[in-house]
A and B are shown apart, each in its own frame.
Chain A
Amino acid sequence: MSTILLEHVSRWYRNVVAVNDVSMTIGPGVTGLLGPNGAGKSTLIAMMSGFLAPSTGTVTLDGEPLWRNESVYRKIGLVPEREALFDYLTGRQFVVANAELHGLPDPGAAAQASIALVEMSDAQDRAISTYSKGMRQRIKMASSLVHDPAVLLLDEPFNGMDPRQRMHLMELLRTMGAEGRTVLFSSHILEEVEQVARQIEVVVAGRHAASGDFGAIRRLMTDRPNRFVLRTGDDRTMASVLLADASVRGARLRPEGGVEVEASDFGRFSEVLPRMARDHGIRLLEVSPTDESLESVFAYLVSA
């Protein structure tokens, strides 16, 4: 069981602050690091993996510093975001090399087990240059798991994966977490994170905006006024029916057509809307959120 501890960590590049006074504890189980692009997730992971020194504060793994300390890599498996690999090697050569660099007693066997775990056995003898994005991601996983690390750090691991590969990786991460490993992965997609992570840490603009289990984060993100534009067969009736429900805070007819709705309880609203439309014989032509962009969700979180 390993724990990564960040205490009042800040990191700036010249006069740009990438991470601002972040303190968090990453313990066993799967933790999701959630935030929009450019929020400082990669900077945090770089500091947690010993590839960046914090400008102030400390980052430790089980009490040991991570910066300039090569011995910590016995415990850490790192899956970097960048796709570049040793393209001129085959998948098997690459994973075996990683096993050798860790000084494992039987690198060949460790590599085979790791490659099988990510379901790359069939393609292991092909050059990495011929791999698809998802295959690269999986061989990167295999290389980081080869020494059975207690800590697994993954930077945007689901990028570029198709749904099936995504499901498989999610399952793998869940298993790793259930085995008592400390697994941390970053993502900018809430749905991705809440499917895997027990614990979610949200970073926005370099700051630690929220922390909790997925239920708490979900509530934070959804218990806020949501705006939608509806196009229906009968806008005026729809608006009046909606106003009668407790989940709706306001409804307005737009001059150009359609109804603008502000819902205070998103969960309830999404359930009652289709029912009300059906009960009143109104056709729903379109339901589109107006401020559903992730940035607005995060902006709301920061102001909360």
Chain B
Amino acid sequence: MSVAFSTTVARIGVHSVFGRRRGVLLFVLPAVLLGLSLLVRLLVGEEERAAQHTLYGLGLVVVVPLVALLATTGLLAPEIDDGSIAYLLAKPISRYTIVASKLAVASACVVAFAVVPVLVAGLLLRSSDPRFGLGFALGALAGGLAYCALFALLSVLTRHAVVVGLIYLLIWESLLGGLLDGVRWLSVSRWSAAIAEPVAGVSLVDNLGVGYALTATVVVIVLGVWLTGRRLRAFNLTGDE
């Protein structure tokens, strides 16, 4: 397994994210987060609980995974679906390089459309405490990267990556994550909250160490890239037969 970075794959990736109508959603999600944060700040002032709920409930649990889902599936799923990925794969470059380069673009989208907006929203909600926004931004970064790796794998496993991804987010991360305490061990958004906690100086999830959260995040990222590349090495391209 050799991983390098291909600027060509990345450049085509940028075109494919913003060349489709879906790309507009990438601007809408952070705009909603920032708009709501501004509203909260104006209505309730610098209140910690409200700020926390906004950045966790809307930022880490909704905006970060959705941005990762949009960016990652936009980079992989359509090309696999229509077969045009063959033009990338029929080249003497490692397929891990292709996955890594595409994920680099997805990660850049996460930073631009999720991490930075979370940071700005944090500063907006609690201007007196910059560590608050910084902590949530770090959590958003860790969660965003893990989601990208996870959704990349989903894109090469199923033709319905967007739908499966949404169902996963709704059922597992939101619904079951709220009902069953044990889900926190296997929930990317809970891990990202645990990573945000020590820096932001807040308490979001009980009994989840930051060490565990960091390790789990790294494992998901590495495993996601590796399995996606492995799956792409065995990519089948056939006509209508």
Contact = CB atoms under 8 A, between A and B. Distances in A.
A68 B234 contact: yes
Interface stretch (A26-34, A70-78, A237-245, A248-256): A70-78
Contact of B241 (A38, A53, A89): A38
Contact of B95 (A51, A70, A72, A143): A70
Nearest to B238: A46
A112 B12 CA distance: 19
Nearest to A206: B241
B92 A42 contact: no
Contacts of A85: 84, 87
B87 A143 contact: yes
B111 to A, nearest CB: 22
Nearest to A129: B19
Interface in B172-215: none
B92 A52 contact: no
A288 B152 CA distance: 56
Contact of A53 (B8, B9, B95, B234): B234
Contacts of B88: 101
A156 B238 CA distance: 12
B95 A101 contact: no
Interface string A4-41: 00000000000000100000000000000000001011
A82 B95 contact: no
Contact of A101 (B6, B16, B83, B240): B6
A50 B19 CA distance: 30
Q: Which of A40, A68, A97, A143 has the most CB of B within 10 A?
A: A97
Contacts of B241: 18, 38, 40-43
A73 B91 contact: yes
Interface string A62-90: 00000010111110101011101111110
A68 B11 contact: no
A51 B91 contact: no
B36 to A, nearest CB: 32
B90 interface: yes
A234 interface: no
Contact of B84 (A72, A86, A156): A86
How many A residues touch the partner, as a band? 35 or more
B12 A46 contact: no
A100 B8 contact: yes
Interface string B116-127: 000000000000
B86 A97 contact: no
Nearest to A45: B239
B236 A52 contact: yes
A272 to B, nearest CB: 41
B19 A88 contact: yes
Contact of B8 (A40, A73, A81, A97): A97
B9 A88 contact: no
Contacts of B82: 82, 84
A155 B236 CA distance: 15
B235 A51 contact: yes
Given A86-B15, A89-B15, A97-B12, A81 B239 contact: yes
B90 A78 contact: yes
Nearest to A102: B91
A2 interface: no
Interface in B68-116: 82-84, 86-95
A94 B93 CA distance: 17
A49 interface: yes
B20 interface: yes
A101 B15 CA distance: 16
Nearest to B237: A51
Contacts of A143: 87
A169 B12 CA distance: 28
A73 B92 contact: yes
A289 interface: no
Contacts of A81: 239
12 contacts: A42-B238, A42-B240, A43-B241, A46-B237, A51-B86, A70-B92, A78-B90, A80-B83, A82-B83, A86-B16, A87-B19, A143-B87
Leading 5 A-B pairs by shortest Cβ distance:
A88-B19, A42-B239, A84-B82, A51-B237, A101-B91
